[in-house]
Amino acid sequence: MNFNFDLIVNSFPLLLLGAVITVKITAMSVALGIVIGLFAGIARICRVKPLRWISAVYVDFFRGTPLLVQIFLFYFAVPVITGQRIDPYVAAVGSCGINSGAYIAEIVRAGIQSIDEGQMEAGRSLGMTWAQTMRYIIVPQAMKRVIPPLGNEFIALLKDSSLVSVIGFEELTRRGQLIIAKTYASLEIWFSVAIIYLIMTLTISRFVAFLEKRYNPDDRH
């Protein structure tokens, strides 16, 4: 068995473009997920019951169903309902972002509940409303504590973004499939794809570790 290094070198520019698209999809999906997850996480612990129920249903549905099924629903089912075709890029970011939001909601909820209850009482004693206390006191502290799980969510979504290849979106995995269809060199291409994913995840892990060390709320030095 011969390992064709020349093919890897020649295919690397195309795979690199796919990797850039993968990072873009992941970054936009996580950004969308953070916005959704922040509101859903706060809604999970607020005193308004309808908001708690809605957020609970949202979290349970999108955590309890496969991301692949959600991508299919977003890309194939929504156009049937709306009568409008959805661009694969929008479907990829939308489905991944909404899915990520469900997991981030639980991360945010856990982060908020980890803050001592005395913080809320102190804010209220200063004349702040519940919303003001959450905005200016609780949430800023909670977000520092959830940096590690948010980093893990980014890494998980980076790898899960390969599922959007099923709707024809040319991210890293899809680029690898197209190259293999032309060259039949599955070993070399999948090995290259795996290495690129590994490099991306290790880079993110190191960056998250840096942020965790810098913003560690328990660091006394």
CB atoms within 10 A of CB 100: 27
- Read off the pLDDT of residues 177-202 as tens digits, 9 standing for 90 and up: 999 999 888 899 999 999 999 999 99
125 has pLDDT over 70: yes
Answer for the pair 165, 177: CB distance below 8 angstroms, yes or no: yes
Burial of 201 (0-12, 13-18, 19+ CB in 10 A): middle
Answer for the pair 217, 145: CB distance below 8 angstroms, yes or no: yes
The domain spans of the chain are: 5-215
Per CATH, domain 5-215 is 1.10.3720.10: yes
* Euclidean distance between CA atoms 180 and 209, whole angstroms: 36
pTM for this entry: 0.87
Taking the mean position of all CA atoms in its chain, how far away is CA 58? 16
171 has pLDDT over 70: yes
Give the type of residue at 104.
I
19 has pLDDT over 70: yes
Q: Please report which confidence band the pLDDT of residue 217 belongs to, taking 50, 70 and 90 as the band edges.
A: low
